[in-house]
Chain A
């Protein structure tokens, strides 16, 4: 069974003109966070709904519809979403009203939209999809759990088209609290690749990336999704290394076959010992890149990494701004994404050229 990525769409801090193109000019936000550059929503969502929807919902719905357009299909057999914090804006709105008004005079809109499954539900509603509908919410495993479910489903039944994606939003309140908890860097982002940072904290990000996955190759195919793996809190770099080689072996590959590894360096020195060790050890002879200097740190940025890997494979070139070491190799056949969220949830994704 081969699983093809037949459509993508992404919303991030980068300026995405078309789904399969890497932005010509990299956006460096010069802040302590990477706010998403939101597209115009009005082509896909009615003005009435745009006004009511929280940003996570708008980003998720808009990316989904664009993704279906990119794949050239209108219907899917499943909608599967991953989100770390869900519709935080709506939760916060309802909660603040509840506190301020002492549990009186509340209106339901933000409560209705606060549930974590709102994005998947709104997609189903908009494209009238009565089929399988799922939402995963496990921190740095949220998007990868959605991907895992899609893979399972394609293995269970041939011929399906599945829409899977990851979404997380940032609100002013959430960002403030993350700063207060010491998770955010004290300085502003001034460019670079976030590799070998020596200070604590990361640059927070947000965004949405969606994929149409199917077992048939099409004119719009980007790449082959070989597999995904989740490793919770590996005790040492060695444990992680052996998980990576087992994962590659299960797809009949060895380390030397990897043409590019995208390592999710968040730049927080407190959580990156294992990533640094991998970079200078296990992966030292492999071309390396990062993606968090393009999208920031959030629980579902694995979806941005998958979009980047798929785009590189389709276009056959690695944008210089992605690279973090100087090894040659511009047209990789296999890309391995190694991501982590605060040194707890480690995830692997393997993507190959069609």
Chain B
């Protein structure tokens, strides 16, 4: 039997709040974090809504006790969430056993670079942007903050990035290379992505409505979330009570189009079946699906088809939590992993917001009311991205 991988800590910052308890409260009160744009300076600020972290750069620096000028927004978001994850896992000396960091980001330092790019060629004021532009920058800052030196890397597979970070972390533990690993992702909202998604005409100007026939597109968001994964031996050694178990994972490529998903949902279907395979589980053992559900015409159709391919008539409860957080891109999968773990811990399903009419292609109706006291043992979480990157994760209540 494959070695078990446990989740012992979680950390999150998003439009739903600055930490796990605030996130749980917002979700339980069905309070979306998506609203008018306040922090990003863009000509589109009155045109679109977004799921911003309601903090200025200065406030983020304040939370960390650092000078915010030395960090990008994405790096600070990542530092805050990763720090919470490590604290909540009860780790004292981070290097007591082999501990790694696998982070992910898609937009990296762009939120800063885009403010100064042209000046960089004329003045020297913001030249340090050059060193914080790449994807590795936030990871180095997180590793330095946590004191991790043993292993670090960063993944960038667009909107599935953090799912792949979680997956690699588990594989590194299973291979015996690491004993525990901090995994997740971070992305700040930027003009670059807002305008990019706008050119693709897949932004909803109002609240997004995933899986609805009248859906108009996605809302962008920002944030960061990290999990601490530990080996079975570490759980035995420390006697810790894990929060959840990471049972399965799958990565596949749709190989259909650079930005669009195939109508038959091939990549998504493959990713889900690979996740079930590694978990050694049957589709019927999945109790709830936290769908990718961005609210675009294309994603929801493709994902819905994939769900039908796998689950057929026995569709488990499902919902998209993008209507609470917005689509946060790279960290979407780790944010949804934290939300899925909250669902497992509290035996609760957070409903899909803004849903009124099933899509005409199939009769798929998400959970639309808060469901408490449900029996949830295993949750499937999907994340699909540009470049055909499709990844799925399965979390369960920890087995003893």
Interface residues of A (CB under 8 A from B): 79, 84-86, 91, 94-96, 98-99, 102-104, 106-108, 111-118, 120-122, 124-125, 128-139, 141-142, 145, 148-149, 152, 155-156, 173, 176-178, 180-181, 230, 232-233, 299, 344
A130 close to B195 (CB less than 8 A):
no
Q: Whose C-beta in chain B lies nearest to the C-beta of A144?
A: B153
Instruction: Using known A-B contacts A130-B267, A180-B127, determine if residue A117 contacts B157 with beta carbons closer than 8 Å.
Output: yes
Most chain B CB within a 10 A radius of its CB, from A114, A121, A155, A233: A121
Please state if B106 and A155 are interface contacts (CB–CB under 8 Å): no
Do A115 and B386 touch (CB < 8 A)?
A: yes
- Given contacts A129-B253, A133-B388, is CB(A91)–CB(B199) below 8 Å? no
Inter-chain pairs besides A124-B255, A133-B389, 15 sampled, C-beta below 8 Å: A79-B253, A84-B136, A95-B192, A103-B195, A115-B386, A116-B135, A117-B387, A121-B389, A129-B255, A132-B251, A135-B156, A145-B153, A181-B127, A181-B130, A344-B140
Residues of the A chain whose Cβ atoms lie less than 8 Å from the Cβ of B140: 139, 344
A133 with B156, Cβ < 8 A, contacts A112-B258, A113-B258, A233-B149 known:
no
Distance (Å) between the CB of B36 and the closest chain A CB?
A: 17
Q: How far is the CA of A98 from the CA of B197 in the complex (A)?
A: 13
> A138 to chain B: which residues have CB within 8 Å?
135-136, 139, 152-154
Q: Name which residue of chain A comes closest to B385, CB basis.
A: A117
List the B side residues contacting A115 at CB < 8 Å. Answer: 106, 156, 158, 386-387
Residues 254-271 of B contacting A (Cβ, < 8 Å) = 254-259, 266-267, 270
Please name the residue on chain B nearest to A105 by beta carbon: B199
Q: How far is the CA of A225 from the CA of B307 in the complex (A)?
A: 40
Q: List chain A residues, Cβ under 8 A from B199.
A: 106-108, 111
Report the bound CA distance from A273 to B28 in whole Å: 56
Given A106-B195, A106-B199, decide whether A117 and B389 contact each other with a Cβ distance below 8 A. Answer: yes
User: Contacting B154 at CB < 8 Å: which of A103, A137, A177, A180?
Assistant: A137
Task: Return the 10 tightest CB-CB contacts between A and B, nearest first.
Answer: A121-B387, A111-B196, A137-B135, A116-B156, A139-B136, A108-B199, A133-B253, A145-B153, A117-B387, A124-B253
**Taking the complex as formed, is B168 at the interface, i.e. its CB lies under 8 A from any CB of chain A?**
yes
A137 — which chain B residues lie within 8 A by C-beta? 105, 108, 134-136, 154-156
A96 to B254, CA, bound (A): 31
CB–CB A130/B149 < 8 A = no
B175 at the binding interface (Cβ < 8 Å): yes
B22 at the interface (CB under 8 A from A): no
List B contacts of A180 (CB < 8 A): 120-121, 124, 127, 130
B119-158 at interface with A (beta carbon < 8 Å): 120-121, 124, 127, 130-131, 133-136, 139-140, 143, 149, 151-158
Specify which of B157, B171, B198, B259 lies most central, judged by the most chain A CB atoms within 10 Å of its CB.
B157
Question: Which residues on the B side are within 8 Å of A130 (C-beta)?
Answer: 252-255, 266-267, 270
Q: Which of A85, A106, A156 interacts with B171 by CB under 8 Å?
A: A156
Nearest CB in chain A: distance from B181 CB, A: 13
B196 touches A232 (CB 8 A): no
A129 CA to B267 CA in the complex, in Å?
A: 10
B339 within 8 A of A: no
Contact B153 A134 (CB under 8 A): no
CB distance from A146 to the nearest CB of B (A): 9
